[in-house]
Copies of this chain bind each other. A is one copy, B any other.
Amino acid sequence: MIPLKEKIRIASGEGIADLLIKNGRVVEVFSGQIEKKDIAIYQGVIVGFGDYRAREIIDVKGDFLCPGLIDGHVHIESGMVTIPEFARAVLPNGTTTVVIDPHEIANVMGLNGIRFMAESAKGVPLNVFIMLPSCVPATHMETSGAILTADNLRSLFKETWAIGLAEMMNFPGVIFRDPEVLKKIEMAKGRRIDGHAPLLSGKGLYAYLTAGIQSDHECTTLKEAKEKLRNGMWIMIREGSTARNLKDLLPLVNPKNSRRFLFVTDDRHPKELLEEGHINTMVKEAIKLGIDPILAIQMVTLNAAEYFRLDALGAIAPGYRADIISFDHLGRFKIKKVFKDGVLVAEGGKMIARSAEPFLFSLESKKRPQRKGSIRVGTIKKDALLLRSDQPLAKVIQLIPGQILTKKAMKKILLRDGVAYPNIKEDILKIVVMERHRATGNIGIGFAQGFGIRRGAIGSSVSHDSHNFVIVGTNDGDILKATMAMKAMGGGLVVVLEGKVLASLPLPIAGLMAEASVSQVNLRLTALHRAAKTLGCKLPDPFMTLSFLSLPVIPELKITDKGLVDVNQFKIVPLFGENE
């Protein structure tokens, strides 16, 4: 590493800088002004403005310059790619820093998963900071790949990339003072603790805040955000692939309170990453909605850096890292050049080859999890999926279009010789969750209504939050075939018809992420969706829907490897009969 004294020397005007970015109109996030000036950079650090000698000069000809963008809360796993590939997708959009919560991979691989994420970020021109997942597993009603206690997590705080405790989703656990939850909070004292508390209000909210939770990205209404803001939470306004809150929350922002707002994406899927972009789309949209562009830029740069206490990030100033982006127009915010640590890594929406190549290989790291390594499913007996029943009335998971909430409905199932079958005419399919971390042989079986599938089966190893195999289908043969196919791929998504795989996406990394680029993944996803349609599926994204049917914290009826979960009662219930 270049010693501090060398940087000071260049800053003071002695010696020669590496790069001078000339003729930029610099957005000064501290003063809130725009100033035309030249930026001198040495060893990845901004060392001064104005008249410096430099080895290289890049003239941005009056373009605007602002700090690289910071996404304050993102689950990279939702992009279904590794960090290097995620970086290739978001860097051209101006994102130079992400604060990630590796909650998904942690549910599969525990500490090793978190370490893998940190490891795979090495050499990648993207700053990656990690908030330690606070809720692994999500509930006791499912089998995850790992259980992370406060004592487990504590060891990671030695690492510079571990900067806080990620979204504390278990807000009832906080309010009702679950000892392990409080232990995690106390362990993180002095660091940031992110919240996740949809609709929490009044005394419940006060209790949550008294515990020390500092932010929230789950606000959906102005009223909710207002209450959380005034009571001390940093408000992370979210625009994910599905949850989109910018339009609703932005009217709350004004110059007196804007410092307490960040922009985050939470979950962005390959399609939106490709077609819409990343956090830059939020800046664009916010400006369109009428916010002062300077405030919008502050929110995705300085504010995030201040909240997370990221020294030397979030501003164009001496001593700061030279993460700088150029754009053409304050109103349009169309990103042109992206400098990471003073190196031009992307331009005109594309990575620059010389920068893109080296980090494609960072996955060769020794700490990289082995392909298929995360899948441990034993042999499945032929009749493992057979459902015996003496009564035809079953609790059925009813999909609600466009939501991850479901309804619980009592429906008549087809019964033949004491065996229950899907009622395809009524769109009631069999849904199976198969434990895939420890080969316990756990299988949860139920029925789901609303997919529209009339033949075959679809399956996924992405299934929140424990990421067991989840398969929905019309017959046991295809459901089993889907399982086998996923096992063979080491995890992934699959569409099966009459014993044949019609389409698939291998996700060999923890069953969550591909060894491919975002666009390659997206092509496969498109093929999967097309194949699902040939089965009769009517949903725009059946895999997304499928992946949330196993999340037992969202009402009303869900299914895990341990069985059917009545979320309102927060317990496992029998599939057949009205009882319970």
Contact = CB atoms under 8 A, between A and B. Distances in A.
9 contacts: A4-B185, A5-B177, A8-B182, A8-B207, A12-B207, A210-B319, A232-B317, A255-B255, A309-B309
Interface stretch (A41-49, A241-249, A343-351, A364-372): A41-49
B256 A206 contact: no
A8 B177 contact: yes
A580 interface: no
A148 interface: no
Given A8-B175, A229-B31, A210 B256 contact: no
Interface of A: 4-5, 7-9, 11-13, 28, 30-33, 35, 45-50, 174-177, 179, 182, 185-186, 190, 202-207, 209-212, 226, 229-232, 254-257, 259-260, 292, 294-295, 306, 309, 311, 315, 317-320
A30 B309 CA distance: 18
A50 B317 contact: no
Contacts of A11: 203, 206-207, 209-210
A12 B256 contact: no
A93 to B, nearest CB: 25
* Interface of A (DSSP majority class): mixed
A518 B51 CA distance: 52
A28 B230 CA distance: 6
A37 to B, nearest CB: 10
Nearest to A28: B230
Given A11-B203, A202-B50, A206-B49, A186 B4 contact: yes
Contacts of A306: 306
Contact of A256 (B8, B294, B318): B294
A48 B230 CA distance: 12
| 9 nearest CB pairs, A to B | A32-B256, A232-B317, A48-B206, A255-B255, A209-B318, A12-B207, A11-B210, A11-B207, A31-B230
A231 B318 CA distance: 7
A32 B254 CA distance: 9
A146 B224 CA distance: 56
Given A206-B11, A318-B206, A32 B257 contact: yes
B204 A12 contact: yes
Contacts of A206: 11-12, 47-49, 318
